[in-house]
Amino acid sequence: MKIHAILLLLLHGVTCFQRDYSNRLYYTVKTTNPNIAQLAATLDARYEGQVGELKQHHWISIPKSSPHITRRFHKRDMLLSPQIPSRHRLFKRAPPPPTAPVLENTEEEYKLNNQTPPLNLPLLTDTDGYTRIKTILNITDPGFDQQWHLLNRNEMGHDVNVTGVWSQGITGKNVIVAILDDGLDMDHPDLRANYFAEGSYDFNNHVKDPRPRLQDDTHGTRCAGEIAAVKNDICGLGVAYEAKVSGIRILSGEITEADEAAALNYAYQENHIYSCSWGPPDLGEVAEAPQGILLDAIQNGIDNGRNGTGSIYVFASGNGGANDDNCNFDGYTNSIFTITVGAVDKMGNHPYYSEKCAAQLVVTYSSGSGGYIYTTDVGENQCSERHGGTSAAAPLAAGVFALVLSVRPDLSWRDLQHLCVQSAIPISLDDDDWSVLPSGRQFNHKYGYGILDAYRIVELAKGFRSVRAQTHLSITSEIDVDNTPLSIQDITPVANTSIDPSTAFTSTLTMTKENVQKHGLSRLEHVTVTVNIEHQRRGDLEILVESPNGVSSQLGTPRKYDTSSDGLVNWTFMTVKHWEESPVGNWTLRVVDGRNPEYRGQFIDWTLTLWGESEIGFFMENKTEHEKNGTRKEPTQSFMDTTNEDEKEEGSFGLYGLVSVFMLFSLASTAYVVKKYMLGTHQYVKPTEEDTYEFDNLLTQEESDED
C-alpha cells in the first residue's frame, strides 16, 4: 500500500516521462479504478502516469513487439485510445501575406523626462499630447512609436485605449498568461523579468524549458511580447507589461491529444489565462472539434482551473476568411468555454483574413491596411515589425483580460464574457451585417459585439457583480415516425435572381415558459444548436437559427472549398448573438441549400440548448439533487455559492456596503485615491449592486467637490 502511494506520488501529474516511440506503443485509458498502475503491471503493460490534471485519464505503454496486450485491457472493458504523435493537427494562425506595403515609420525621437505618473493624461489632440503622454507614463521603449495598437496618433481612436488604465497603475500585476504556442524566448530582455518558469513546459520535446528551438519558432515569443514585454529601452511594451507570461510549447512538431490535453491544464492553479493563436487548418474544408480527452481537459479547466473560477481560454478566430472559412466550424472557437477574438486593422476595418462567425465575442487590432503589430522577437534585443493575423489579435485581448483580472481576480470565466459583451464598442457601422438586438446592443458576425476597449472593460470590471451559477436546458426535434429523413429542397436560384430564404427548409422548436422555469434559467447567455444533416457537398449549406424575437444567427456559411460529403454529424454550433434575449417562444432552424443543385441533402434532427445564469436560489434549493444528477456545473468554491442564497445575500450586502463605504471615505481624499485603493490592495470587498451605487455617488461627490 505504502509503495503504491509513493509510486502514485511520483507519477501523479507527471507528464515528462521519457517517450520511446521507436520501441513502444502509447495509449491513454479513461478509468476511475484507483489501482490502474498495478493492473497495468499485471497485464504486462507499463503505467506511465496520469495525463496532466485529468484524474481519470492515464498513460499506458506496451512494447511494440506485443500489440496483443491491448486486448487484455479491452477484456476488462477498458478502452485504450492510441496516442500517436501527429504533426498535422494544429496550425499556427500565422500572419497572412501582406496586401499592401508597410507604411514607413515617420516618427521623430522625443526627449523624455522621468516623472512619476500624474493623475491626468493629456489628450492626443492636445499640443504635444503624444509626447507628454509618453513622458508622464515614463515610456522609453524605442518601438513604442510603432505600437499604434496601444496609442494611435495617425488613425486616432483606433487603439486599445489603454493609457488611461496604465495611468492608474493597472498594468497586469499578479496575473499570469500562458502562451500555448511554439516556444517563448525567456532570455530576451523584454521578457526575462516577466517570465514565469513554473507555469512553462515544452510538450514537443518533453523538457521543462519551452525555448524556441526551430528556425520558425518565433510566433509564441511575438505573442508573449504583445502581452507582457517589459517597459524598458528595448523594442516596445506589452499591453499588460507587468503581467507574467508562461510558455507552453505545443506547435513545434508532433504532439498527441493526451499531451495537448495536459497542456490545456498545465499549471492551471498558477496560469490564469491561456492565449491560443492556433487551431484546425483554415482552408475552409473541415469541421473539426476537440473530442474526448481534449473536451475533458477544457471542461476541467473551466470547473477546476484558477481555484475554481475557471481558466480563461482565449482563441484567435482564424485566418481563413479569404477561403470562406468560418469560426463556427472550428470546435475551439465555437465552444462556450472559450473567448473568440477576431481582428480589425488600424483603420477599424475587417481584414480579409479574419474569420467571421456567430461565436465571435469581440475583435481587436491586428494587421491590414498596411499596418502590422510591432512586438518582441526571438533573439537578443530582436523586435518584430511584422506580427499580424488573428494570431496577433488573441494575445492583445488576453493582455487586456490580464488587466481586468489584476483588478478583479475573483471574476469567473463567464463574468469575463459578460464584461466583453457589455463593454465592447461597435465599429465600422456601415457594414451591413450589424443588427440591433432586443438588448439594445448591436452584433455583427464579423466584429462580434465590437472592439475591445481596455479602459471601458477595466472600469466596468471594478464594480461588476459576479453572475450566478450556470444552468442549461435542451430540446430536440422529433425524428420522423418512419425514421425517414426529410429532404432538403435545393433552392439554387436561376440566373440573376437571389435566394428566397422563406422557401428554405425550416424546423421549429417551441421553448415554453414552464421549461425555462423548471431549469431555473433567468438570463440567457450562449445558445448552441447541434445538427445532424446529410449532404453530398457540405459547403453548399447556409444554416441559420432565428429566435422568438426575430434575431437570426448565421451558424453555418456556404464555403466554396468545403466539398465534404460527410454532412454534419452531431455538429454543435454556438452563437453569442442571443445574449440576454427572452428565450420563450419558437426557435426556427433554416437550412438553405442554395448552390450546386446536383448535390442534395437530408435533414435528420437538431437540438437547441440554452445556457445562462440561474435564478437566485435555484441551485441552493435543489443543491443535493443537482449534485447527484451532475447537472450542477459551477465549481463549489466559486463566489456564486454565497450569492445564491437570497437571505445571506441580503444580510451581507448591508455589512459589505457599510465596510466599504467607510473604507472609501477614510481613503478618499480625491477620486483618484478611491480608484487606487480599489486596485492597489487585493483585499477589497467584492462589490455588490449597492456598493457600486455608493461608489458612483461618492465619485460624483468627490468630482463635484473639486470643481
Ligand X SMILES: *[C@@H]1O[C@H](CO)[C@@H](O)[C@H](O)[C@H]1NC(C)=O
Choose, from 188, 219, 272, 350, the residue flagged as catalytic: 219
- Using CB under 6 A as the binding rule, the residues of this chain from 35 to 74 that contact ligand X are none
Is residue 181 flagged as an active site residue? yes
If one asks whether residue 13 binds ligand X (CB under 6 A), the answer comes out as: no
Nearest approach, Cβ of 231 to ligand X (angstroms)? 6
Nearest approach, Cβ of 54 to ligand X (angstroms)? 18
| CA distances (Å), origin 114, targets 119, 139, 238, 241 | 15, 9, 20, 18
Question: Which class for 250: exposed (0-12), middle (13-18), buried (19 or more C-beta within 10 A)?
Answer: buried
Question: Which class for 45: exposed (0-12), middle (13-18), buried (19 or more C-beta within 10 A)?
Answer: buried
Judged by CB under 6 A, which of 66, 476, 503, 510 binds ligand X?
A: 510
Tell me if 582 sits within 8 A of 517, measured CB to CB.
Answer: no
Nearest approach, Cβ of 198 to ligand X (angstroms)? 11
Is residue 391 flagged as an active site residue? yes
Tell me if 588 sits within 8 A of 361, measured CB to CB.
Answer: no
Choose, from 141, 181, 182, 282, the residue flagged as catalytic: 181
- Using CB under 6 A as the binding rule, the residues of this chain from 238 to 257 that contact ligand X are none
Judged by CB under 6 A, which of 38, 56, 81, 140 binds ligand X?
A: 140
Nearer CB in complex with ligand X: 23/497:
497
**Beta strands, E only, 278-395:** 278-279, 312-316, 338-344, 360-365, 373-376, 383-387
Residue written as cell 521578457?
Answer: 191
- Using CB under 6 A as the binding rule, the residues of this chain from 271 to 330 that contact ligand X are 272, 306-307
Is residue 259 flagged as an active site residue? no
Q: How many residues does the chain have?
A: 707
- Of the chain, the end-to-end C-alpha distance in Å amounts to 74
Judged by CB under 6 A, which of 28, 50, 70, 161 binds ligand X?
A: 161
Residue 487 phi, psi (nearest 5): -75, 135
Nearer CB in complex with ligand X: 391/477:
477
If one asks whether residue 233 binds ligand X (CB under 6 A), the answer comes out as: yes
Region from 156-164, 209-217, 258-266, 637-645 binding ligand X, contact rule CB under 6 A: 156-164
Judged by CB under 6 A, which of 42, 116, 125, 624 binds ligand X?
A: 116
Nearer CB in complex with ligand X: 290/657:
290
If one asks whether residue 520 binds ligand X (CB under 6 A), the answer comes out as: yes
| CA distances (Å), origin 705, targets 671, 673, 702 | 10, 14, 5
Region from 101-109, 321-329, 617-625, 646-654 binding ligand X, contact rule CB under 6 A: 617-625
Nearer CB in complex with ligand X: 4/628:
628
Tell me if 452 sits within 8 A of 160, measured CB to CB.
Answer: yes
Q: How many CB atoms lie within 10 A of CB 632?
A: 20
If one asks whether residue 569 binds ligand X (CB under 6 A), the answer comes out as: yes
Choose, from 252, 335, 391, 638, the residue flagged as catalytic: 391
DSSP-assigned letters across all residues of 632-661: --S-TTSTHHHHT-HHHHHHHHHHHHHHHH
If one asks whether residue 356 binds ligand X (CB under 6 A), the answer comes out as: no
Q: Return d(Cα 339, Cα 317) in angstroms, integer.
A: 9
- Using CB under 6 A as the binding rule, the residues of this chain from 406 to 465 that contact ligand X are 425, 453, 455-456
The contact set with ligand X (CB under 6 A) reads: 114, 116, 138, 140, 161, 163-164, 231-233, 269-270, 272, 306-307, 425, 453, 455-456, 495-496, 508, 510, 520, 569-570, 585-586, 617-618, 621-622, 625-626, 629, 631
For the annotated catalytic residues, the residue numbers are 181, 219, 391
